[in-house]
Amino acid sequence: MTNLSEDSAVLRLPRLADEEVDFGLLAEMTGFSVKLVWILGYTYLTRAIDDAGITPQRFSMLELIGVNPGLTQTQLARALGLSRPATSLTIDFWEGRGHVERRIAAQDRRSFGIHLTAQGKTALEGLRVRVREADDALTRKLGPEEIDQLRGLLARIYE
């Protein structure tokens, strides 16, 4: 796994305190600040899991399947904001690795629910450790209460 310390992370990210560039109105925009944090978080997450050929989107889907066994492809697409083809490709990726399987859905026999296999459960456990480390690196300058407050404020914006 990649070292996630600040020195090793890709930190050529835009900085609002950059003395060479005046960000003007961008420095006052919440959306731009969220974008900068997203770039940093995506960088940490990618560095934590990409050596396994896993993307943040692939991890997100495996996590949702792990905590919501039996979701349909449509439900997964909606939950992750993905198109049906992108969702299908991601499910195919995990199915090809033997981590998920499609089963006829109990509530609608025309649909398939997606479930983790034993191999998928093991893989997800290992990925969760790495993803938590990446998230800890992202929020290392904040205390637990600040992290909870930040998540709460962001949830108020997008809900």
Q: Could you state, in order of their start, the residue ranges of all structural domains in the chain? A: 24-143
Buried b / exposed e along 44-57 (16+ C-beta atoms within 10 A): bbbbbbeeeebbbe
The answer, yes or no, to whether residue 82 has pLDDT greater than 90, is: yes
* pLDDT tens per residue, range 29-65: 999 999 999 999 999 999 999 987 899 999 999 999 9
Instruction: Burial-class residue 75 by CB neighbours within 10 Å (0-12, 13-18, 19+).
Output: middle
* pLDDT tens per residue, range 134-151: 999 999 999 999 999 999
pLDDT value of residue 10:
46
* pLDDT tens per residue, range 4-27: 555 444 455 666 666 678 888 988
Structure-model confidence comparison of residues 66 and 1, the more confident one: 66
Class of domain 24-143: mainly alpha
The 3-class secondary structure across 113-128, one letter per residue, is EEEECHHHHHHHHHHH
Amino acid, res. 20: E
**What Å distances lie between residue 51 and 1, 123, 135, CA to CA?**
7, 14, 17
- 3-state SS class at 136: helix
Kindly report whether the global pTM for this prediction surpasses the value 0.75: yes
